[in-house]
């Protein structure tokens, strides 16, 4: 694994996802090394990122969930100039591509809800060129299909909410899991 993100994922396979200020406070005192920020707005995102970075953690912002921003690439430029974020997450290939151009680490999120979304995975990855992908839901069977199909780290997210789910997702080939469940963070 030559990408520095891959080494961090290898050593830290549990990634907290925070969706509110309560989650932010909990993650600040956790041992995690990477945090997925799944909330925020144009007024507070810089402060959220600053608090997390002060604790020595990598920060990935889900740009699709930020309030007050459009889903246009200008949000990527704003985040580059006004935050210390390490990476960007999005379900949109164009946003991932724009984030890569700005030097962010990138995670392309895929909601695999049917065979068509699974079949289009390769094409979307080719367009976006992400560092990693996140598969939602993070069910073991889906993770195993994806890891057989692509050659990059896969993060299992969505409905990975207990120890058994974590263990099964990692056994199925996930490089890491993400969860908003604080009980999962300390496993």
Task: Note whether 46 and 83 are within 8 A (CB).
Answer: yes
Distance CA 133, CA 152 (A): 8
Determine, yes or no, domain membership for 133: yes
**Is 102 part of a structural domain of the chain?**
yes
Q: What's the CATH code of the domain at 14? A: 3.20.20.70
pLDDT in tens, 111-154: 999 999 999 999 999 999 999 999 999 999 999 999 999 999 99
Best CA proximity match to 15, nearest among 171, 163, 156: 156
Domain range for 66:
4-181
pLDDT of amino acid 2: 67
Give yes or no for a contact between 118 and 141, defined as CB atoms under 8 angstroms apart: no
**3-state secondary structure at position 162:** coil
Confidence of residue 159 (pLDDT cuts 50, 70, 90): confident
> pLDDT digits over 162-180, tens only?
889 999 999 999 999 999 9
Which residues on adjacent β-strands are paired with residue 135? 110, 156
Q: In this structure, is residue 187 part of a structural domain?
A: no
Alpha-carbon distance 186 to 182, whole Å?
7
How many domains does the chain contain in total?
A: 1
pLDDT digits (tens, 9 = 90+) for 14-71: 999 999 999 999 999 999 999 999 999 999 999 999 999 999 999 999 999 999 887 7
Task: Decide if 147 contacts 170 (C-beta within 8 A).
Answer: no
Question: What's the predicted TM-score (pTM) here?
Answer: 0.94
Residue 76 lies in a domain: yes
* DSSP symbols for 81-130: HH----EEEES-HHHHHHHHHTT-EEEEEEE--SHHHHHTHHHHHHHH--
The span from the first CA to the last CA of the chain, in angstroms, equals 24
Residue 43 located in a structural domain: yes
Count of all residues that appear for the chain in the document: 187
- Residue 186 in any domain: the answer is no
């Amino acid at each position: 694994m030559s990408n520095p993100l891959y080494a961090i994922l290898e050593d830290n396979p549990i990634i907290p996802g925070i969706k509110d200020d309560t989650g932010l406070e909990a993650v600040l005192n956790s041992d995690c090394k990477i945090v997925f920020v799944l909330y925020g707005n144009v007024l507070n995102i810089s402060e959220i990122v600053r608090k997390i970075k002060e604790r020595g953690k990598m920060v990935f912002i889900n740009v699709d969930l930020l309030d007050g921003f459009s889903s246009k690439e200008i949000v990527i430029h704003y985040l580059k100039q006004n935050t210390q974020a390490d990476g960007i997450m999005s379900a949109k290939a164009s946003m991932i591509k724009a984030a890569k151009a700005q030097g962010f680490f990138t995670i392309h999120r895929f909601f695999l809800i049917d065979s068509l979304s699974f079949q289009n995975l390769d094409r979307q990855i080719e367009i976006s060129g992400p560092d990693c992908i996140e598969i939602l839901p993070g069910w073991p069977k889906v993770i195993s299909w994806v890891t057989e199909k692509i050659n990059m780290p896969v993060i299992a997210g969505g409905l990975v909410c207990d120890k058994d789910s974590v263990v099964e997702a990692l056994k199925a080939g996930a490089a890491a899991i993400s969860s908003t469940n604080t009980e999962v963070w300390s496993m």
